[in-house]
Structure 1
Amino acid sequence: MATLAGLALSVSLTSALATDKAASSVLRVGYVGFEKGAHTSGVEGFLDFRGELRPLLEKAGIKDFTIVALPNGTNVNEALASDQIDIGLLGDTPAVIGRANGLKTRLLNIQPDLNAWLIAKVDGPKTVEELRGKTVATAQGSYMSKYLLGLLKEAGLEGETTFVSLIPPDGKAALERGDIAAFAYPAGFAQDILAEGFVAIDDAGKHPSLLGAEVAVVSDNYLSNNPDFPKIWSEIYQASVKAAHAEPDAFYAFFSEATGYKVESLKAAYPLSHWREESLPLSGLEQVRATSSFLLDQGIASDAVDVEAWVAR
């Protein structure tokens, strides 16, 4: 089975991301998403949708706010490395890989306990053991890849399967063609796929150490020019969580529109408790530490990440 060792941070992106940044008056955010809409797909996007995000930014002197959807966390890292975005919203696995490999970022907030599901066709494998000798897939460098690699190791299948990297929108067709036996899907996407008749072999909720987290990181370069930004972002994040909790129906309707996933799928994958007002909960910090240890043990990350030193204060 292929591993993710030696994952490089490319400084090239073939998107039309802006490259000019006029000091603190500009904020560029990159997030993982397949639907390129007017807002990011999380709680911060909901605050923007409500018209409440940009006034908070303007109060802090940020007049120009832009977003870009990128296919996966590796692409977010690339955009940060090439100074094409200032903030990345991504999974903890790619964020830790980036930090361990020298990407200069600081950690702003964590949303822990993010599940992933290992999914197959109805007439496909029914257990993890049945994957022996078969091909499995997920997005390389994602939190789902940490789950999949960890699961195979736990099951004694390390080196007994073939791993290929595919982004989630391509997973369904690969399953239907029989190119792969199982795909590790992210939270919202998994519920939509299951509703179409596919079946779950396993999920990360059964293996707490393999759960993922969503994080926000800011580039050191942006932070050096805007040292008060962690306080600004904390205010934005807390206001975003409060808004989602205050109007859950409106939030999930927005979330569905922003991601393309069904409302019921998102409610199942992301209960409101997933978003906590505390930016850096202790459970989240512990989860990121566990991710760092796992990636180091697997040889995926080149060094351990000092999570406390990584936090932007």
Structure 2
Amino acid sequence: MSKSLFKVLSVSGLLLLTGNLYAQSLKTIRIASPDLTAGTQHAGGGVVDVLYSKKWVEQAFAKQNIKVQWYFFKGAGPAINEALANDQLDFAFLGDLPPILGKAQGLKTQLLVPTSRGGTNYLAVRSDLNVKQLKQLKGLKVGILRGTADELSFVAALKSQGLTTQDVKLVNLDFNAVNAALAAKRIDASWGPARFFALRDKGLVKLPVSTRQLNGVGASQGVFLGRQQFIQSYPKETQLVVDQVVKGLHWLSLEQNHVPQIALFATQASYPALVYARELHGVNLKFLYSPRFDGYYLNNLQQKIDLTQAQGLIKQKIDIKPWVNTTFVNQAIRNLKLNEFWKDTNQYEYLKK
């Protein structure tokens, strides 16, 4: 054997060994979610609560002695983006705006699984104010956590009525702070998901407008994403995680789990079960929890990117084709033999027919 060939083989062997050692060095998988709880337990809503409570991801990696660490952020999307930027997380469950902002800021992520779509948002107004439509918000204080899906949904809803955020006085508050501020009458209104039902039942707010009344304008959607470097380094582990996410979405999509998921969400988040029962009443669960990157989801994603840019929240365009990675979710659907379970949708099918 020539010396030059020996060197090539030696270097190749060293690279292969290094690659194997690197692949074997994975000891922990770090997953993040906004913390939506009103109590002492952690809650992320939807598939997060399913996976976190049932420990399916932990069980999937038990034989490999790989630990799974969950991180719940009160600062929601903005705080999670910061952690991703510092390589402190591997995966995250997020609403629609934070991933867009992160991508525009240079975060190297890939969208792996749609986790929700068509989520209803509501205008919550202090009960002592006579506000019945969005146009009446002009000049009022609206509490919202900036940089989150709630903000983008609110922007879209305002735009549908010929308004912008410049027409209101935005106050940056986290989810629990918004509830407290409404109760104390320090703000006039807010915009967000079903958690406001708890305040309405106490007579503190009215809910005069929702995205359902706006024909779906401002409806939110969620996504499970990963750091590109992790995905490229650990494709098998990524696939196993995505399998569990799709398994969780399947559990949520089953009509027989309609009541159990309401109980689960209420337990995790410490909100009354009636809040979630109202939110899910008459909802097409297979549509809400479909993991498919279909026409409906991708069109809405592009619209949200365009809206974010039009509002000046990002400066550059984002090409969704290289950003969306369908490989793992499509394989997960095949692995779980769910090819015929969710259909592709191209229109608003949130409510049951």
Same fold (TM over 0.5): yes
Q: Indicate if the aligned counterparts of 2:125 and 2:189 stay in contact, CA closer than 8 A.
A: yes
Equivalences for residues 210-225 of structure 1 within 5 A = 210-225=218-233
- Over the matched positions of the two proteins, sequence identity in percent amounts to 20
In 1, the alpha carbon distance for the partners of 2:265 and 2:112 equals 22
Question: Could you say which residue in structure 1 is the equivalent of 2:210?
Answer: 203
Q: Could you give the per-residue CA deviations for residues 61-97 of structure 1, whole angstroms, max 9, x where no partner exists?
A: 4610010110211111111111111111110111111
Q: 1:125-274 maps to which residues of 2 (within 5 A)?
A: 125-158=131-164, 159-185=166-192, 187-197=193-203, 198-205=205-212, 206-244=214-252, 245=254, 246-270=256-280, 271=283, 272-273=285-286
Mapped to 2, the partners of 1:183 and 1:149 lie a distance apart of 12
Map 1:1-313 to 2 at 5 A.
23-35=25-37, 37=41, 41-58=45-62, 61=64, 63-71=66-74, 72-110=76-114, 111-124=116-129, 125-158=131-164, 159-185=166-192, 187-197=193-203, 198-205=205-212, 206-244=214-252, 245=254, 246-270=256-280, 271=283, 272-273=285-286, 275-312=288-325, 313=327
Q: What letter matches 1:261 in structure 2?
A: Y
Displacement of 1:44 in angstroms is 4.4
Deviation at 1:296, TM superposition (A): 0.7
Q: Which residue does the alignment assign to 1:5?
A: none
Q: Is the 8 A contact 1:120 1:183 kept in 2?
A: yes
**Unaligned 5+ runs, structure 2:** 1-22, 328-353
- Aligned residue number for residue 18 of structure 2: none
- The Cα offsets for residues 145-167 of structure 1, whole Å up to 9 and x where unpaired, read as 11222333333333222111111
What value does the CA root-mean-square deviation take over the aligned residues?
2.5
Report the AA paired with residue 143 of structure 1: A
Alpha-carbon distance between aligned partners in 2 of 1:40 and 1:143, rounded to the nearest angstrom: 14
Structure 1 residue runs of 5 or longer lacking an equivalent are 1-20
TM-score by structure 1 length? 0.83
| Structure with the greater alpha carbon radius of gyration | 2
Asked whether the equivalents of residues 137 and 164 of structure 1 are also in contact (C-alpha less than 8 Å), the reply is: yes
- Cα distance in 1 for partners of 2:259, 2:155 equals 36
Opposite residue 138 of structure 1, the aligned amino acid is: I
The 3 A distance-change label for structure 1 pair 132 and 86 is same
Asked if structure 1 preserves the Cα contact closer than 8 Å seen for 2:98 and 2:149, the reply is: yes
For residues 180-208 of structure 1, give each alpha carbon's deviation from its aligned partner in whole angstroms, at most 9, with x where no partner exists. 221112x2312222222221132223152
Alignment-mate amino acid for residue 199 of structure 2: I
Relative to structure 1, the CA distance from residue 276 to residue 168 in structure 2 (aligned partners, 3 Å threshold; closer, same or farther) is: closer
Distance 1:286 1:214 in 2: 14
Q: 1:89 to 1:140 in 2, by over 3 A?
A: same
C-alpha contact 2:57 2:241 (8 A) present in aligned 1? no
C-alpha spacing 1:51/1:161, structure 2 compared with 1 (3 Å): closer
Q: Residues of 2 paired with 1:156 and 1:249: CA distance?
A: 39
Question: Could you tell me the TM-score, scaled by structure 2's length?
Answer: 0.75
State the structure with bigger RCO (CA 8 A, min sep 6), 1 or 2. Answer: 1
> Which amino acid in 2 is paired with 1:254?
L
Paired residue total:
291
